Amino acid sequence: MSLPTTKELLLAWDAQRPRSKQTAMGMSELGSCHRRAGYHLQGYEPDEDFSDDKIQAVMGTAIHECASLAARMLIPQSRPEELEVQFAGLLGHPDLYMDGVVRDIKTLSFAMMLEQRKLHGPPLRERFQVHTYGAGLILAGHEVHTVQINYLTRDTGEEYLFAEPFSVAVVEEAMAWLDDVSTSDVTYLSRDYRPSSAFCQSCPWFRQCWDAEPGRDPRSVLFRDDPDAAAWARRLKDAQARRKAAENEEADAKGALDALRTVTGVGESEDVELPGLDEVVRFRMNKGRTSPDMARIAMDYKRAGARPPVKVGEPVVSVTLAKRKEER
């Protein structure tokens, strides 16, 4: 018998947790994908071939459990082991509660995700979750005046504590969202993520949602929902124009700011602070990319009387807008 890998150990540990066996919709799903929540709430069976390798989520859960264990030892009055709440038929598990303050812990993969939250605040779904935790605690007879979300990034270890007063208005907005996904026909609910996203890839109803014909792009189902070909073509043209304009604008801004750079050696970096700007302009000198010299490789094979090995991929569909033939 060989020792299980770390990943296997974490998945096995998570599988036996009571929360992992929970089938009812939880407060953490509020404000996420309308259609996914609709499938869940309206009792749709998951895809037959669904297999959820949720190691990233389990890594975050392990951090939650460690923090909860530390809280039990250091601040037992926060009662992390008792915190299961219910509200509007939803189950929730706040991470910490003490003296009217309820806190949720969030782990993020990258520091860039943390910067987004510092600049723009938490996504609405995260605010829905922690405010509904507060509503559940109030319903259970506890005082709640403040909600907090404590972020921790896995790549840098940086953390950020967001806090705001508990708001009945946020809870009401969350309940309106819940009513919408509970009562609407699933086919009319929006797909709030796209097929290549990690959220979609881990969804138990992925194939039912993106049920495209074999060989077609999964997003082709969007045409089934809205079969206005000219409108889609105009959207493509508009998106391409905006992308080109944005690329040019980004290049201009980066080029202009390069006037401030003083570092010149590979591996060097510097931060430049500017008046009126919360962020710093960061310059970093990186190595140039290395890639195979395909022309030289082809010449070497030619001298040897052979052809370079190639790997043929799946057919790729090109979708462009072009002038009519008679206009060329």
Q: What are phi and psi of 238, to 5 degrees?
A: -65, -40
- Give 40-89 pLDDT, tens digit per residue: 999 899 998 887 667 777 777 777 778 777 777 777 776 655 678 999 98
- Give 219-229 pLDDT, tens digit per residue: 999 999 999 99
Give pLDDT, residue 20: 52
Give pLDDT, residue 249: 97
Closest alpha carbon to 59 in 24, 3, 19, 7:
7
**Digitized pLDDT (tens) for each residue of the chain, 328 residues in all:** 788 887 877 777 777 766 555 557 889 899 999 999 999 999 899 998 887 667 777 777 777 778 777 777 777 776 655 678 999 989 998 988 988 999 999 988 888 899 899 989 999 999 999 999 999 999 999 999 999 999 999 888 899 999 999 999 999 999 999 999 999 999 999 999 999 998 898 899 999 999 999 989 999 999 999 999 999 999 999 999 999 999 999 999 999 999 999 999 999 999 999 998 888 899 999 988 888 888 899 899 989 988 888 888 888 888 878 888 775 5
Cite the DSSP H helix spans in 34-81.
34-41, 55-74
Mean pLDDT rounded to a whole number for the chain: 88
Closest alpha carbon to 235 in 324, 327, 325, 321:
321
Give pLDDT, residue 23: 57
Give pLDDT, residue 5: 85
Q: Where in the sequence of the chain do the CATH 3.90.320 domains occur? A: 13-209
Which CATH entry fits the domain spanning 13-209: 1.10.3470, 1.10.287, 3.90.320, 3.50.50? Answer: 3.90.320
Give pLDDT, residue 22: 54
Amino acid at 79: R
Q: How far apart are CA 67 and CA 72, in angstroms?
A: 9
For the purposes of burial, counting CB atoms within 10 Å of the CB of 315, is it exposed (0-12), middle (13-18) or buried (19 or more)? exposed
pTM: 0.74
Closest alpha carbon to 322 in 225, 245, 237, 260:
237
